[in-house]
Chains A and B, each alone.
Chain A
Amino acid sequence: MELHIILIFMIFAAIMAVEIKDLISSVIALSAAGLGLCLAFLILKAPNLAITQLVVEILCVIVLIRGTINKDLPLVKDGRWLFNTIATLFSLAVLLLFSYLALKELPNFGAPLMRVSQEYISTGLEKTGSPNLVTAVALNFRGYDALAEAAIIFTAIIGTLAIARKIGKKDEE
């Protein structure tokens, strides 16, 4: 029940973040949705994720505020605004209808298929020696994923430096 309340709160915060006009208020509404996600992780028994989400959320807000501070937002409604909005909402409604049909086929909430994970849970402690199974899976059983994640972060830092730096080396002749 409390998960429903948190999810509805997150949907309202997301709609506010999308529809509000002021950019900084919009970023703050997005961070409210992120903190709701952090609470939902805590209720779903994922404390590692809740901590990570909190830190990432704060960093994300800092970066977005750096991007949006002192910037104006011209709001223009052109002639086909109504048609475009109606078309977008209609396609989203079709998507929601098909998702409703598809989500019924999933296993029920609270009864997951745990074929691989049962092995991890029963033998994870003696195989890896880590009482926290999430770190055991992330760093030992699926260590290559953590390696690829480090590679992605490295690529992202290189990309950000390449985009955000000023003019590079000036050749003086």
Chain B
Amino acid sequence: MSLYFLCFILFCVGLYSVLRKRNIIKIIIGLGIMEYAVNLFLILVGYRMHGRAPIFAKDQEILNMVDPLPQAMVLTTIVIGLAVTIIAVSLAIRIYEKYGTFDITKIRSLKG
């Protein structure tokens, strides 16, 4: 329970960065922090006390295993998070080329 709550505090730090900061790079960093928190939360939910990693070995009997299903799903999520970060950074670089700033309040004009 306390671990879940600490994980949610981490999520809120990222959410604060997305809501409050005016620099685009800080917003991307906030997105990354939120992604870390969600990944960690899914793995925490699937953990079994005194469990082993979900890998069979030939010469030993394994009784308790942690849940392999969230691990397989989070494996997908981590790579998607990388793709999201790369797209956001490339957008930020283009915005910097066009406007000369990362400040989102300065990016106002819609003229092409």
Contact = CB atoms under 8 A, between A and B. Distances in A.
Report if A and B associate in a common complex. yes
Interface of A: 3-4, 7-8, 10-11, 14-15, 17-18, 23, 26-27, 30, 33-34, 37, 40-41, 44-49, 52-53, 56, 59-60, 63-64, 66-68, 71, 73-74, 76, 84-85, 88-89, 92, 95-96, 99-100, 103-104, 106-112, 114, 116-117, 120-121, 124-125, 131-138, 142, 145-146, 149, 152-153, 156-157, 159-160, 163-164
B56 A4 contact: no
Interface of B: 1-10, 12-17, 19-23, 25-26, 28-30, 32-33, 36, 39-40, 43-49, 51-57, 65-69, 71-76, 78-87, 89-94, 96, 101-103, 105
Interface of A is mostly: helix
B43 A49 contact: yes
Contact of A56 (B29, B47, B79): B79
Contacts of A120: 68-69
A133 B55 contact: yes
- For the complex of A and B, list the 9 residue pairs with the smallest distance between their C-beta atoms, beginning with the closest: A110-B49, A156-B83, A133-B54, A137-B72, A138-B72, A133-B68, A131-B56, A67-B89, A18-B17
